[in-house]
């Protein structure tokens, strides 16, 4: 098999996944976008969290040109991306009971805010407890996860539950257990992960839906513009001033 044929198979698999979430998650995406719009319209704040590589899709909607300025990253030291050595420490921290409560208690979240939690498997203690504790605090929770994991694996949380069990809205990424779209006859392990791409697409589709929903209500969505276009910095400065009490990544 040629390298180009294998690359084409990966891209075909990725396109297939995007089509599935477009067709099968459209109602959930619409509901998530409406929830985001409701939060903005009601004076609430927006937060996104993901651990390990799931954090990449969370970071993708924070301080992003074309994105809602009110989306803030809920950061957990040692868990965001692969920012620790050894990298396996981040995976270990995801399984620590009680960490989510400590993070939320020291964060600026409050009742009426919305938190998006991204976790491919949704089985580890951190995302499960993050969702549970957030709802107890009066936040609305959107989960971006693969429902397949809840059907084919066991939870690592004492409750035996998954992230999807503690969300107001669930966006199913359709990723199969193992997150590998390709095999090759001389390669021992499957490869070609697609979860980051699909999770980011779900997030951006939700943000786009929220922006349109706000506009349809007569509310100009607080979007950021690229700093690499003329007038971009001035536009963003006005947004930061107007919504400064709801933006926590800039002081």
C-alpha–C-alpha distance, residues 108 and 248, integer Å: 8
In the chain, the number of structural domains is: 1
Percent of the chain clearing pLDDT 90 (strictly above): 83
CB 78 within 8 A of CB 87: no
Which tokens sit at 70?
Answer: 């009110």
Q: How far apart are CA 50 and CA 130, in angstroms?
A: 10
Closest CA to 249 of 20, 4, 40, 68: 68
Helix (H) or strand (E) holding 4: helix 3-24
- Whether 82 is covered by a domain: the verdict is yes
Assess if residue 238 is contained within a domain: yes
Q: Domain with 117 in it: what CATH number?
A: 3.40.50.10490
Whether 251 is in a domain gets the answer no
Locate all alpha helices (DSSP H) within 60-168, ordered by sequence: 88-93, 99-105, 125-136, 147-152
Task: Give the model's pLDDT for residue 24.
Answer: 98
Considering the domain boundaries, does residue 212 fall inside one? yes
Residue 230 included in any domain: yes
**Ranges 79-93, 120-134, 173-187, 224-238: which has the least confidence:** 79-93
144 closest CA partner among 211, 49, 69, 80: 49
Mean pLDDT of 111-124: 96
In the predicted structure, residue 90 carries a pLDDT above the cut 70: no
**Is residue 83 included in any domain, yes or no?**
yes
Higher pLDDT, 156 or 91: 156
Query: What gap in Å lies between CA 96 and CA 78, rounded to an integer?
Result: 12
Quick check: 188 pLDDT over 60? yes
Judge whether 130 and 93 are in contact, CB under 8 Å: no
Asked if residue 137 is part of any domain, the answer here is yes
Domain of residue 235, residue span: 3-246
Interatomic CA distance for residues 201 and 175, integer angstroms: 13
pLDDT in tens, 145-159: 999 999 999 999 999
- The overall pTM is greater than 0.85: yes
Residue 239 lies in a domain: yes
Is the CB of residue 138 less than 8 Å from the CB of residue 111?
A: yes
When mean pLDDT is compared across 110-114, 155-159, 200-204, the lowest value belongs to 155-159
């Amino acid at each position: 098999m040629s390298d180009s044929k294998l690359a084409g198979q990966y891209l075909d698999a990725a396109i297939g996944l995007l089509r599935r979430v477009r067709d099968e998650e459209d109602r959930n995406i619409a509901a998530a976008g409406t929830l985001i719009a409701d939060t903005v319209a009601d004076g609430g704040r927006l937060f996104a969290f993901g651990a390990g590589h799931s954090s990449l899709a969370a970071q993708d909607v924070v301080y992003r040109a074309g994105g809602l300025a009110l989306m803030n990253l809920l950061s957990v030291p040692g868990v965001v991306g692969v920012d620790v050595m050894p990298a396996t420490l981040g995976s270990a921290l995801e399984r620590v009971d009680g960490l989510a409560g400590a993070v939320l208690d020291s964060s600026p979240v409050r009742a009426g805010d919305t938190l998006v939690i991204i976790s491919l498997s949704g089985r580890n203690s951190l995302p499960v407890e993050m969702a549970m504790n957030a709802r107890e605090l009066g936040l609305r929770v959107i989960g971006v996860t693969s429902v397949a994991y809840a059907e084919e694996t066991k939870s690592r949380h004492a409750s035996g539950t998954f992230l999807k069990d503690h969300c107001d809205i669930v966006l199913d990424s359709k990723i199969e257990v193992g997150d590998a779209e390709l095999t090759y006859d001389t390669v021992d392990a499957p490869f070609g992960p697609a979860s980051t791409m699909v999770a980011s697409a779900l997030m951006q589709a939700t943000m786009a839906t929220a922006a349109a929903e706000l506009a349809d209500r007569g509310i100009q969505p607080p979007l950021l513009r690229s700093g690499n276009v003329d007038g971009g910095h001035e536009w963003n400065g006005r947004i930061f001033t107007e919504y400064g009490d709801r933006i926590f990544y800039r002081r």
